Structure formats: structure tokens, C-alpha cells
């Protein structure tokens, strides 16, 4: 299965992936409208310390602890992609307690949010990958 991978050697800490992610999941068609004066809540997040930086997003694990632990049945895995049903999620955060990568996070709309590889928005392919200027984030089979 194709997944998002990061190469920290190439990461510039420009945070563009975060903006592309936020735009992709905003439901807006205009990037300026989606992001201007908005406190973004991206599903991919940069970790940064000194001159090291890298992006972290859901690994879409083959043994997804978040899905197995989900108390409501809101997290499911279909064809490898782990997605959240916000309608079912009550925001108990058991998935946040379970994810070894820290890749599931509270959503400003209540419930939780996580990377769904842009399969459930209008992008069709991970926007963070397309938006990375230095190819530090790739979408490939490994």
C-alpha cells in the first residue's frame, strides 16, 4: 500500500505541508479564504528542534492500535486507510492514548482528526506531498 513517508534530511521546516493539509481538509476551494486569519489545525505536524525537523502524520499501521482500541467504532480501516467517522466519535481520546506516533489529535470541531491520505476530501492524493517544496514528504509503496 502507498503511504506518506518523510525524509528528515530534506525537511526545511517550512510548514507548508501543514498549510496544504489544512486547506485540503477545509472544504474550501480558495486557499486564501481557507487559510487567511485562520488558526489552522493540520493533521500532519512538524516536529522541530535545533536544525532537525520532520513531519509526522498517520502511518496507517497494519496493526492499527487506534482502531482496535476505539471504544465507539468510529475509527475504521478500509483498504489500509484508517478513517474517522466524526458522527460516531464522542471524543474520548482513547485513540490518542493508543497511537505510538502521536498522529491522532483533537479536532477543533470536537471529535478527533487524523490523516486520511486525502481519500475523503476533494484532493484525491495527499496534499502535503504535493505541497512539499523539497520532496521531503513522498507518497509511495515501500
The answer to whether 127 and 23 have CB atoms below 8 angstroms apart is: yes
113 SS3 class = strand
List beta partners, residue 48.
53
Is the Cβ of residue 37 or residue 79 nearer to other proteins in the bound state? 79
Strands 52-56 and 45-49, by their bridges, are: antiparallel
CA angle (34, 39, 42) in 5-degree steps: 75
Of other proteins, ligand FAD, none, which one does residue 65 interact with (CB within 5 to 8 Å by kind)? other proteins
Among 11, 81, 84, 99, binds other proteins (CB under 8 A): 99
Among 12, 33, 38, 68, binds other proteins (CB under 8 A): 68
- The contacts of residue 56 (CB under 8 Å, 6+ apart) are 6, 44, 45, 46, 47, 101, 102, 103
Q: Which residues between 37 and 56 bind other proteins (CB under 8 A)?
A: 47-49, 52, 54, 56
Q: According to the binding rule CB under 8 A, does residue 108 interact with other proteins?
A: no
Would you tell me which residues interact with other proteins (CB under 8 A)? 3, 5-6, 8, 47-49, 52, 54, 56, 59-62, 65-66, 68-69, 71-73, 87-88, 90-102, 104-106, 142
Q: Residues in the site for ligand FAD, rule: CB under 6 A?
A: 71, 92
Amino acid at each position: 500500500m502507498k503511504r506518506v513517508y518523510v525524509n528528515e534530511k530534506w525537511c526545511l521546516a517550512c510548514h507548508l505541508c501543514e498549510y496544504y493539509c489544512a486547506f485540503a481538509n477545509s472544504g474550501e476551494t480558495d486557499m486564501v479564504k481557507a487559510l487567511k486569519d485562520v488558526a489552522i489545525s493540520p493533521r500532519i505536524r512538524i516536529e522541530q528542534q535545533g536544525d532537525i525537523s520532520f513531519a509526522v502524520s498517520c502511518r496507517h499501521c497494519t496493526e492499527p492500535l487506534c482502531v482496535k482500541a476505539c471504544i465507539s467504532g468510529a475509527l475504521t480501516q478500509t483498504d489500509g486507510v484508517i478513517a474517522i467517522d466524526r458522527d460516531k466519535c464522542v471524543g474520548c481520546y482513547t485513540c490518542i492514548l493508543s497511537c505510538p506516533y502521536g498522529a491522532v489529535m483533537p479536532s477543533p470541531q470536537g471529535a478527533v482528526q487524523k490523516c486520511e491520505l486525502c481519500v475523503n476530501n476533494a484532493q484525491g492524493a495527499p496534499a502535503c506531498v504535493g505541497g512539499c517544496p523539497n520532496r521531503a514528504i513522498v507518497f509511495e509503496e515501500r
